[in-house]
Amino acid sequence: MTIETAAQLRSIVDRAIDEVQITDMHTHIYDAGFGDLLLWGIDELLVYHYLVAETFRYIDMPYETFWAMSKREQADLIWKTLFLDNTPYSEACRGVLTVLHHLDLDVSTRDLDAYRRFFAGMERAEYLDLVFKTAHVKDVVMTNDPFDDLERPVWEQGGSRDPRFKAALRIDPLLNGWEDNWPRLRDFGYAVTAELSDATLAEVRRFLTDWVQRMGALYMAVSLPPSFAFPEASARGTLINECILPVCAELNIPFAMMIGVKKLVNPDLRLAGDSVGPSNVEAVEYLCANFPRNKFMVTMLDRVNQHELCIVARKFRNLLLFGCWWFLNNPVFIDEMTRMRMETLGVSFIPQHSDARVLDQLIYKWAHSREIIGDVLYEKYLDIANTGWQVTEDEVRRDVENLFGGYFWSFLEKKLP
């Protein structure tokens, strides 16, 4: 192929990537109706748990001293440690700089107070619009936990009203801590007991159905440890089998499993204290094979699981892979995983979600990922162009639309026979 054709292809891909409006299918941000649950601004960006973990690589301060500090003091310390005393090129540090840069703030001044003044002058609703526009995001899926005492009352009073924010019912407390959490279900008005009798299981199904409907949840989701197995003689195994899968099938919504997190290996770090371990892909294979009428969305945290998971997705149309999750949300892994997935699955996967906890993070997570995904896509088109295959601009746009949200929405609509 000629250099001119390659350059033309590059600009078609760049244009499509630049113009696509993204659906971000897994975040931890909330619409303004959730009040203080919506985090934004420079101090929130700095106290992001990814940066807390990195800061403790350099400081000897006792953990309790750090946690006793105000948010502003923590942000000051993190700024000094990671941005001034050291060079901020880790992915999470670079992200803060990308956000400031996209907001037209001058990062060369290193003037934290000036950045604070910029955010203090912003009105929340106006800023929310600006972030969505700058990030090229049209809608996001939240993570919604009815066991959260700050969040539950908002839903009980009518819930999310901003149509850009969609819900996902998160059920970690149910599946990962039945023994501790079943009394809470009883407090919510469901007649359950510790023992998973038929009556209790029926009440759990009623709870799930009520909450999916109340939230308009697009899917149910859980994060799971590396030891996750299925089938399994445990409360979690029984609840998945008897409650989650039947309710998801009945309501035709996917069950999203995020597998591979080792919770609190260092509890002193709090939210930053979780780690990773290789998981058992066979549990996913078993679920897909034995519940063909259920739809599953899966992401795994350990790099070593990614190839096997791609192959399982080739075998089961009821499985949709998504995102480069958490410790894999680094350029090196996004590049590798996107290539591997494109080479094994074509365009039938969701390359990325943001996992943003702070509104502004939508800007950097998507700026960084769009660039990498665009580069990989261009190379893939180039490879087939070298055989003489001509890809049209409309086809490039179709693929990009699918990768950045279209495929997610069609999977939600899919009805399996």
Binding site for ligand RAT (CB under 6 A): 28, 143, 223, 258, 326, 355, 357
**In this structure, are residues 319 and 298 in contact, taking their beta carbons and an 8 Å threshold?**
yes
Residue placing its CB nearer to Zn ion in the complex, 44 or 355: 355
Q: Give min distance, CB of 26 to ligand RAT, in A.
A: 7
Q: DSSP secondary-structure letter at 260?
A: -
Residue placing its CB nearer to ligand RAT in the complex, 28 or 152: 28
Helix (H, G, I), strand (E, B) or coil at 284: helix
Residue nearest to Zn ion (CB): 355
**In this structure, are residues 289 and 321 in contact, taking their beta carbons and an 8 Å threshold?**
no
* Region near Zn ion per CB under 5 A, out of 176-184, 291-299, 351-359, 403-411: 351-359
Q: Give min distance, CB of 186 to Zn ion, in A.
A: 28
Residue placing its CB nearer to ligand RAT in the complex, 323 or 374: 323
Question: What 3 state SS string does 32-79 have?
Answer: HHHHHHCCCCHHHHHCCHHHHHHHCCCCCCCHHHHHHCCHHHHHHHHH
What's the chain's length in residues? Answer: 417
The answer to the question of residue 285 lying near Zn ion (CB under 5 A) is no
* Region near Zn ion per CB under 5 A, out of 17-25, 274-282, 312-320, 354-362: 354-362
Strand partners, 147: none
DSSP annotation string for 155-173: HHTT----TTEEEEEE-HH
Residue placing its CB nearer to ligand RAT in the complex, 260 or 374: 260
Q: Give min distance, CB of 256 to Zn ion, in A.
A: 10
DSSP H or E run through 23: strand 22-24
Q: Give min distance, CB of 149 to ligand RAT, in A.
A: 18
The answer to the question of residue 355 lying near Zn ion (CB under 5 A) is yes
Residue placing its CB nearer to Zn ion in the complex, 76 or 148: 148
Select the binding partner of residue 152 from Zn ion, ligand RAT, none (C-beta < 5 to 8 A, by kind).
Answer: none
| Neighbouring residues of 382: CB distance < 8 A, sequence distance ≥ 6 | 1, 6, 9
Residue placing its CB nearer to ligand RAT in the complex, 144 or 223: 223
Residues that bind Zn ion (CB under 5 A): 355
